[in-house]
Every structure is written in structure tokens, then in C-alpha cells.
Structure 1
Amino acid sequence: MSVAPTAGTAPSSPAVHRPRRSWWRIDRHDVLWLIALTLVAGALRFGSPFFLDIFAHPGSAAPVSAWGIGHNYQDPSLPGLGKPNDIAPNSPFVFDELYFANDAHDDLLGRDYFDPEPPLAKLIIAIGIKLFGFNSFGWRFMPALFGTALIPLMYLLARQLLTVRFFAIAAGVLTAFDGLTFVESRTAVIDIIPITLVVLAYLLFHLHLNADTVARRRWMIVLIGLALGLAISAKWTTLAAYGTIIVILGLRLILRWTRYDGATGGIALLSLALLPAVVYGLSFLRYLTITHGITNLPQPALSFTAFHFNPGAAWTEIAEWHRQTWLYHINLKADHIFYSPWWSWPLDFRPVVYYYTGKGLGIDQTTGSALVAEIFNLGNPLIWWAATFSLVGIAASLPTLIQGYRSRRDLDPAEAERTDLAGPLDQAFIGAWLPLALVPRGLFLYHMLGGLPAMFLALALALTYLRSLRGLMPGLALRLSGTVPAYAYLVMVIGFFLYFYPLWTGLPLTADALNSHVWFAFVKPWPNWCLCYWTSPG
């Protein structure tokens, strides 16, 4: 997301070959952090919810037990919030798993369905179903895998953006312990898949910019086009990242901060203009082998034959799907209890309840109250509020940064890096967020997911700046350092994660404990929202 050349380097074509480790800007300490963050994130995403039996039942043979992502949340009394479906009555779904898990299963079976999202994410979910069966573990496996991969990708991206290791550590911690990324990773809904692919594309883009040989630069631009094509094939909202990369690269070429020879320029043009479209088209290959009611075309063979020998029919199929999808999105008028306006998302308003039940969970042994359980997709408030504040601060300081940019060579290299990063972070966030204001249909908090990488990086940048502060307390011979507050904030983020953990995983709680997470409730004339929590049904 960086526009300017790396501090202290000339904006010329790469010439000197460096070890791959130097190019990726990682050493053994980074490897240890990557392993630790990935293992923690993977354990939380695949193993949650965890029960600390050593505290609840000290005499238990198992001090810790877990349900894991394969747990069958089930309550047939609440349609749409964990309702078993006729297609698979013994396999309950959480929220929109009802659609996406069944769509992925239909892809495996070759059955017709219509979904107004590109096909790739369902095909990826289908891999887990193929490996582990049509059950909750099977359809949640690939989202959990992608959600886990998001953490090391964010760490590696941060290492490319800034040479300060703490920036990468902060970015990894914020991503691992956010509530929305956590819930989306543990549910067979598609959004975590394209966002992970977007972060991969951004990582490849900065590896391209930082490449020290022509061969590396060319390979990276090809891989960028491939990653962007995969992302767009999973969800159209990732076009925002595509546009951000094009704008940043275009500015760098105009300002001659990046220079291509003729061959590299041609490869870049083909990779960014043609390759994503080719990948997007190829993602429909499975779709073309299934008869669809929206076109009533004859049944093709279950192979690529129909695609090769009847290209006119294939084009008609894909064109009709796009027409129907566009009509769906612009004409959808159905009301939904969890719709929220786009401007409210950075403030973490109006989370969506994915699951709720108050039956069959037993009695709390301490209070004697009935237990209830809920899953909702709230972002970690400590992250979201501070990240929003960081982005606003960056936007407010942009005129000063632009005005003083000519003196960049006089800045400390670390300060120059932070200055270079500020503007592109706002650009990436606004590109992912603001276009959704034009969408006529109702939207949900999870549509903010595309802006989260920029939010995490903006907050990590603010914490990195805080960590760099040194000085004396006025009037006292007391030296102050921002290191302790910066690390303390990350510890507080983990504390907030633990506080909301039961409501992100469906851990049974009493109604009083559940309602203790209602921090602010708005009444009319404000919309019926609760900040951080929606009052449970019943």
C-alpha cells in the first residue's frame, strides 16, 4: 500500500541480487513470531470454544476441553439462527451457512443453484466437504484455514511496508484477536476467503516493489494478477483492492519511483489487465457443467467438452448469471433486522447475531440460572475504535504530510517510512468502504471486512509511532518511553478478546452474563441498535 520509494533507496530498476530472506525482510525472530501467531490463531479458530474444566470442575480428568469448529450448534425453534435444513436435517447451519454450505455441496453433486456471488469461494468450501464430508467440520474447514492464513500474511505484509518488527507483530496480533475475522473464520460464509486473497495480493505487490532482480519483479507481477483474479472470483467487493493497486502503481510509474523496461512493462500490463479476467472466467468452469434454470440450456457433459465445443452457450450461461446477479443486488428490497448503514460500521455498530439458543443447555451451577448461547460477529471494540481514530488522524494530517513531502530526504528513515505509508492506508480503507455507500440494497456489518486490513495496519502504525516516543516528564527528572504503553495496548486487545470470547463462540452463559456485554443502547429516534451487542430474542 506504499506509494513512495523505500526510504534511503533510489527509485531505479533492481540490479543487485540479495538473499531471499533479505528480500522478504524476515530473520529467525520473525520466523518464531510467525509460528507463534499462526499456531495461536489456528488453535483458536479450529479448536474454539475451549472450556477451562480445571476451573469449572477441578476434579475433571480433562483440564481443558473443546467443541471445535465441527460443533453442531442446533436450535430448531429459531428459523435462520441455527435452523436444521431439509437438505441435511442432521447437520445444522449457522446463519448463511444455510446457503453457502449447500451451494458448495451442490457444486460437488452437479446440482443447479443460483447464488449472487462469484463461484470460487463455494468451490473452496467444497474442498473441505469433499475431504471431511457434508457436515459442520467439513464446510467450516476451508474458511478456518483461510482465516488462519490471514494472520501470517498480515505479518509478512507489514514487514514489507515498514522495517520495524513491532509493526508486524502489532498487525498480526490485531488480526488474530479481532472478533469479526475470528467469527468469519469459524463459519462457512465466504467473506474471509476473498479478504485473505486480497492481503496475499497486497503482499505480492510490495514484494514486487521491493524486488531486487528483474526476474523477481516479473514473477511477482504475474502472481499479483493471479491473486487478484482469485479474489475477484470469490467476491466482487475485492475490486476495491484491484483499483488501489492500479492507482498506486500508476502513481509510482508517473513519478518514476518505479521503472520498467519494455518487457517488464508488457508483462505487467498483461498480468494486471488480462490475467485477472482470465482467472475470473476460469472460475466458472464448474458452473458451465451444470444445467441452470435461469438459461434452460441443454445439459452439458460433466467435463470441459461443453466449454470447448459450445462457446456460444457458455458465454450465454455466464452472461445470464451476471445479469441475474446484478438484478438481484439492485432490486433486493427485503427488510432484515440486522441491516446497518455503511457509515456506522467503523464504529462497530449493529453486529449480526449468527446463532442463539436458550434451550437444552442446562443450569449454571453457581447461580442456578438457565444457560443461553449466542454467536455474533462484533469486531473487537478496542481495535475498531482505535483504528478508526487512527485513520481519521492520518486523513487529518495528510495536507501537512503532502506539504512537507519535499523535505522527506531530511527525515529520519523510520519517520520517512511512516510518512510514506500514511496516505495509502487511508486510500485502501476508503476504497474498500466508501463505494458500499452507493449500494442500494441493505448491508450488514460484515461488509466492513474488506476495510479491516487497512484498519489493522493503521492502528499498528499508530502503536509503532507510540513505541518510538521518548522524552522527559515536564518538571521531573523522569524519562518516559512509549514502549510499555504500546505493548500494554496489545495486551488489552487480548483481554477484550477474552471478554467477548463466549459471545463469539457460543459458550453457554447466563442471560445476565450475556446482557452484561450491552454497553450502550440507543432508543428512538435513533435506530434500534446496541453498541457491541444486540439484545437477545425472547
Structure 2
Amino acid sequence: MGVEPGAAETREKRIDGASAPDESIEEFADEPLEDRRGTRLDDWWSRVLSTPRRRTLWYWGGPILVTLLAAVLRFWNLGHPAAIVFDETYYVKDAWTLLQNGYESNWPEGADADFAAGDTGIFNDSPAYVVHPPLGKWMISLGMAAFGAGDPFWWRASTALTGTIAVFLMTLVARRLFASTMLAVIAGLLFAVDGNAIVMSRVALLDNWVMLFALLGFWFVLLDRDRSRRLLEERLDADRATGREPHYGPAIWARPWVVAAGVAFGAACAVKWSGLWFLAAFGIYLVVVDAVARRRAGVPFWLTASILKQGPVTFLLLVPVAAVVYLASWTGWLVTDGGYYRHWAEEAGNAATGWLSWVPLSLQSLWHYHEAAYGYHVGVHSPHPWQSNPLTWLFMIRPTNMYYSSSDDGSGGCGADTCWSSIIELGNPLIWWAAAAASIYLVYRLVRYREWQVGAILVGLAAGYLPWLGYLNRTVFQFYSIAFEPFTVLALVFVIGLMLGRRDDPTWRRERGIAVVVIFLAFVLAVSAFFFPIWSGIPVTPTFRQLHFWLPSWG
């Protein structure tokens, strides 16, 4: 997966200094300070990675190490609390009935406590009205399918695994963007220790799956970017070698990474409809990238070719694949008889007439289901104590308190008479606020320098965030931001890369950049350790819990 170690070595020289000459700082002792290049740390790092075997070990070992850290933070004590947490009341129970009936079914009043106590068979066969596609719930059900629903660890295991895999995937994406294993490891580390990512991996909700599939689709788009450009140049060179001047350039069908991206974005849509924005945004991005590649390759009618020639090909490779994946997620509903609205079109007066009468009744019923669900989504205005305005999401003004319990008899486990336990979907403030500032800076950076990495990151951020600004009056929550958090972290890592500079930068500049980044990362780790108890439900004293509310709106 990703770039082979040998190919990556050359690309990483610019940042990691892995192949830099083994020079000592003493060689520059008589030079003016502003003329010296590199640092002793660079020299040491060059010696550490002085053999192909060591470089390969770093290439894979660094990402694996931060992934193992992510696994510990997500799986440790995952079965606590042994209670249905926040919207697990919908998704865990829906996932269990999907396994049993093939469709989401109803539960009696007060079923949460019984389910948590191990009485998981009290559901009935009548269908439940749900407003999200089934794939995320099918994924949540994987742990329960293997080990049963009697232990809350298995309600959440597949979601925790999703968050862990996403950290490793983040390192692959970052290395593809920045050509640096060092920056890839930093990206994975930041995502591994952030509270929003940790909480959303420890509670069985749907949004972590949207994040994973969107990030996976983004990686496939990046892989296609390099491959399709090479194919275009090869085809153009072949045409020119025969004396033909390609006015439009070829239409390239051999783009397996676009097909893979269609699968990933289709899966994101099959978890939540918000995944559709990633499909649309990166579909447009693929056309823009092709236009730029054709222009740089000297194709005369590059814009027309990218829109009217390659564009339809890209659409056919991407969108129908996503549609098939989305429809396949409804298989359980389609092959059973008990799902909500399953037989709507069979009722008198409901079936389509005229030119749509050929559509199978089951698909007509499914379409009606989607119309009803859309009406619900746009009309959700019920006040909630933890709802959050999307305008504040980048700055994490109103996080979601997902769980709270207290004890006053000394049995809480915090060493005091009164103990409180919380699971608050609160990101690491240093990561979030720095990432917000970096994201704003990247907008300027795109206008000023037009770097492709910046454009790719901002496309993902825009797809995950901007559509929510159209729903400012709807009841929404801060934890939806997990879908676009990888892109804010990548924005931050881009800025960190600028601060670190290059191996051949003046010594004073390189030393200052390294010092700032090391200090920042040290504080990030310290803050994450401080906040981890309220991310994982560890009992604490009320005073200690209150110390975490740096803004009044957090409590």
C-alpha cells in the first residue's frame, strides 16, 4: 500500500533528511551563523537512517507505532460504561435487530437498561422508522455478530477498530501529500491522541464510519492523481512520436483508483447522506486535476477535453459505482418483507404510473422511504441541550456531553466520597484551535501559491464542513465534525512542515522550527493525558472535572 520504501527515499530527502550527507556541525564552526545549514539533530537522523533496512523500518515502523498508540487509547476499558450511551440507543439496538431480522425493528419502552443487562431478545418484529442508511449499523453489528451483544465491549469494538485503522490511513494520506514519513507520523500522532477522535471511536455511533470511508476515498483520489498524470503523459508522448498533435488528449479509462474511490464514497453515503458531499466534491476535483494536467502537458483544448471528453469517463467510473454500493447497503431491507415502508408501493394508489411504471415496486417503496427520511432531516428543529451551531465547530465551542454518572457514597473509585464520570466529545484544545488557524491560513496559501496539496486538503474540509452551514437552524451536534477532522489535522501538519523547514535551511531557522514543533507536540501529549479521563468515563472528583472546562460553554 502506498509508495514503496525505495521510491519514497528520494521523495523524503526534502523534509526528513534521511539521505543527507553525514556532516558534522563542527565543519561549519567558522562560518557565519546565518550561513550554516542543518542541525546536529539532522546529522544524527541521517546516521540513524543510513541503511535501506533502517529506512524501511522507519517507513513502516513509525506509522505502526502511532497506530498501536491509537489502539490502546480506543480499546482500553472499552466496555465501560456498561450502559447505552447517547445515540447508541438507536444504532446499537438497530444493529442488533438488523442481524436478527434483516431490518431495524422496534423495542419496548425502557429497553436500554434491559439490553445493557444482557436481555437482548426483547425486540419485536414490527419495523422501526429510521432515517439513516443501513451500512453503518451493519458495521457496528460485526462485533456482536462474532461475540454476541451481552458485553458492551462488542457493541463498540468495530467502531474502535475503525478509529484505529483511520490513524494508520492518515499516515498513508499524509505521506502521499507531503512526501515525508516524519510528517506522516506527526499526522497520525495528532489524530491518535485527539479527544474527538478518541470519543467517537469509543462510542458506537455512525459518524466514525463516514470519516473512515471519506478518508479512504481521499487516499484513492490521491493515488489516482499520480497514476493518471503519468498515463496521460505516456499517451501524449506516444501520439506525438507518430507525428500527431493531440488537440484534446486521450480519454483514460484505466483508472482503478477512481473506481475504488467510488466504492469508498458510496460506502460513506450508505452510512449517512452527508457522505454525498465528499462524492460530489472529489468528483469535481478529479475533473479539475485532469484539466490542470492537460494544460501543463500542452494540450491545446485542455478545458474542453477535461469537461467533455475525460469528464464523462470519470463520472462513469465514479458515480455509478457509488450508487451500486449505496443500493447494496439496503439488501437486508429489500430481501425481507418486514422493513418500514417495504410494501408502500403495493398499497392502492401508491404505485407509479406512466413512464415510471416499469420500476420494481420494491424500489418505488425504497424511493418513498428516502423522500420521507429527507423530509425528517430538513425538519429537525427540536431543541437539545447539547446542540451546536455549525459556525462554531472549527473552534469547538459546544462539545457534546454523551454520558454522565455520579456517586456520593465513596464507591465511585476516584478516591473521594463524590465521584463523577463523563464522556464528553471534546477535542484536544491545542490540536483543534491550531488546526482551525491552519485551515484559515491554507485558504490564503491556496490563493497565494496554488499548491496542489493545499487544494486537496481544502476540498475535503469543504466537503465535510461547508454543507452544514446551510442547516444553521437545524438540530445538529459538534460530533458531526469527526467526518472532516482528518482534513483539519492535515492542514495543521502542512503548517508544521513549513515550520520544520528543510535539511538545507540555515541552522538557526531549522533549530527554531524543530524546537517549536517539539514543544507543541509535548504540550499536545500532556493535554491529551489530562483530558483522557473525561473522554473515557474514568471516575474523577467534581473539582478535577471542572478544571477541564476551559470555556463556559463546555460545561
TM-score range, shorter chain: 0.7 to 0.9
Alignment deviations for residues 24-66 of structure 1 (CA, whole Å, 9 cap, x no partner) = 789431210122111111111111xxxxxxxxxxxxxxxxxxx
Is the CA contact 1:222–1:267 (under 8 Å) kept in the aligned structure 2?
no
- Are 1:292 and 2:339 counterparts? yes
Alignment deviations for residues 79-117 of structure 1 (CA, whole Å, 9 cap, x no partner) = xxxxxxxxxxxxx20111010001101111114222211
User: Equivalent residue for 1:344?
Assistant: 392
Which of 84, 89, 92 in structure 2 is aligned with 1:101?
A: 92
Compared CA separation, residues 44 and 377, structure 1 to 2 (3 A): same
User: Equivalent residue for 1:431?
Assistant: 463
The worse-fitting range, judged by mean Cα deviation, of 252-261 and 155-164 is: 252-261
3-state SS, counterpart of residue 345 of structure 1: helix
3-state SS, counterpart of residue 404 of structure 2: strand
User: Equivalent residue for 1:225?
Assistant: 262
User: Equivalent residue for 2:491?
Assistant: 458
Report the Cα distance in structure 1 between the residues aligned to 2:257 and 2:201, rounded to whole angstroms. Answer: 27
TM normalised by structure 1 equals 0.75
- Are 1:70 and 2:85 counterparts? no
User: Equivalent residue for 1:76?
Assistant: none
Is the CA contact 2:408–2:418 (under 8 Å) kept in the aligned structure 1?
no
Report the Cα distance in structure 2 between the residues aligned to 1:366 and 1:320, rounded to whole angstroms. Answer: 52
Alignment deviations for residues 478-503 of structure 1 (CA, whole Å, 9 cap, x no partner) = 98431122122122211111010000
Offset of residue 424 of structure 1: 3.0
User: Equivalent residue for 1:421?
Assistant: 453
Is the CA contact 1:224–1:271 (under 8 Å) kept in the aligned structure 2?
no
Offset of residue 363 of structure 1: 5.4
Letter in 1 for 2:183: F
User: Equivalent residue for 2:519?
Assistant: 488
TM normalised by structure 2 equals 0.73
Letter in 1 for 2:399: P
3-state SS, counterpart of residue 109 of structure 1: helix
Which of 504, 525, 545 in structure 2 is aligned with 1:514?
A: 545
Report the Cα distance in structure 2 between the residues aligned to 1:145 and 1:494, rounded to whole angstroms. Answer: 22
3-state SS, counterpart of residue 69 of structure 1: coil
Offset of residue 296 of structure 1: 4.5
Offset of residue 340 of structure 1: 1.2
Is the CA contact 2:345–2:362 (under 8 Å) kept in the aligned structure 1?
no
Report the Cα distance in structure 2 between the residues aligned to 1:359 and 1:367, rounded to whole angstroms. Answer: 12
Report the Cα distance in structure 2 between the residues aligned to 1:485 and 1:389, rounded to whole angstroms. Answer: 16
User: Equivalent residue for 1:381?
Assistant: 429
Instruction: Give matches, 1:58-457, under 5 Å.
Output: 68-73=77-82, 92-110=83-101, 111=105, 112-135=127-150, 136-211=152-227, 218-257=255-294, 268-288=314-334, 289-296=336-343, 312-359=360-407, 362=410, 368-402=416-450, 419-439=451-471, 440-457=473-490
User: Equivalent residue for 2:112?
Assistant: none
Offset of residue 360 of structure 1: 6.8
Report the Cα distance in structure 2 between the residues aligned to 1:336 and 1:119, rounded to whole angstroms. Answer: 25
Compared CA separation, residues 249 and 362, structure 1 to 2 (3 A): same
3-state SS, counterpart of residue 355 of structure 1: strand
Letter in 2 for 1:270: L
The structure in which a higher percent of residues are helix is 2
Alignment deviations for residues 228-252 of structure 1 (CA, whole Å, 9 cap, x no partner) = 1111111111222212212221112
Report the Cα distance in structure 1 between the residues aligned to 2:188 and 2:290, rounded to whole angstroms. Answer: 31
Letter in 2 for 1:379: G
User: Equivalent residue for 2:58?
Assistant: 29
Is the CA contact 2:387–2:477 (under 8 Å) kept in the aligned structure 1?
yes
Is the CA contact 1:119–1:283 (under 8 Å) kept in the aligned structure 2?
yes
Report the Cα distance in structure 2 between the residues aligned to 1:292 and 1:353, rounded to whole angstroms. Answer: 32
3-state SS, counterpart of residue 114 of structure 1: coil
3-state SS, counterpart of residue 61 of structure 2: helix
Letter in 2 for 1:69: L
Offset of residue 148 of structure 1: 0.5
Q: How many residues in Structure 1 have an aligned counterpart in Structure 2?
A: 439
Larger Rg: 2
Report the Cα distance in structure 1 between the residues aligned to 2:226 and 2:253, rounded to whole angstroms. Answer: 9
Alignment deviations for residues 506-528 of structure 1 (CA, whole Å, 9 cap, x no partner) = 1111111111112232xxxxxxx
Letter in 2 for 1:466: M
Compared CA separation, residues 313 and 479, structure 1 to 2 (3 A): closer
Offset of residue 127 of structure 1: 1.4
Is the CA contact 2:413–2:419 (under 8 Å) kept in the aligned structure 1?
no
3-state SS, counterpart of residue 179 of structure 2: coil
The worse-fitting range, judged by mean Cα deviation, of 234-243 and 208-217 is: 208-217
Letter in 2 for 1:35: I
Report the Cα distance in structure 2 between the residues aligned to 1:184 and 1:22, rounded to whole angstroms. Answer: 36
Offset of residue 71 of structure 1: 2.6
Structure 1: which 5+ residue stretches go unaligned?
1-17, 48-67, 74-91, 300-309, 403-418, 522-529
Letter in 2 for 1:450: A
3-state SS, counterpart of residue 211 of structure 1: helix
3-state SS, counterpart of residue 364 of structure 2: helix
Alignment deviations for residues 456-488 of structure 1 (CA, whole Å, 9 cap, x no partner) = 000001111111175577xxxx98431122122
Report the Cα distance in structure 1 between the residues aligned to 2:340 and 2:501, rounded to whole angstroms. Answer: 61
Compared CA separation, residues 182 and 316, structure 1 to 2 (3 A): same
Letter in 2 for 1:29: W
Instruction: Give matches, 1:499-538, under 5 Å.
Output: 499-521=530-552, 530=553, 533-534=554-555
Report the Cα distance in structure 2 between the residues aligned to 1:353 and 1:200, rounded to whole angstroms. Answer: 29
Is the CA contact 2:460–2:484 (under 8 Å) kept in the aligned structure 1?
yes
Instruction: Give matches, 1:41-60, under 5 Å.
Output: 41-47=70-76
Letter in 2 for 1:39: L
RMSD of Structure 2 on Structure 1 (CA): 3.0
Compared CA separation, residues 395 and 103, structure 1 to 2 (3 A): same
Alignment deviations for residues 260-300 of structure 1 (CA, whole Å, 9 cap, x no partner) = 9999977633221211011111111111224234355599x
Letter in 2 for 1:486: V
Offset of residue 126 of structure 1: 1.3
Alignment deviations for residues 177-229 of structure 1 (CA, whole Å, 9 cap, x no partner) = 11111101011101001111111111111111223876996222221111111
The worse-fitting range, judged by mean Cα deviation, of 224-233 and 504-513 is: 224-233
Offset of residue 257 of structure 1: 4.7
3-state SS, counterpart of residue 443 of structure 1: coil
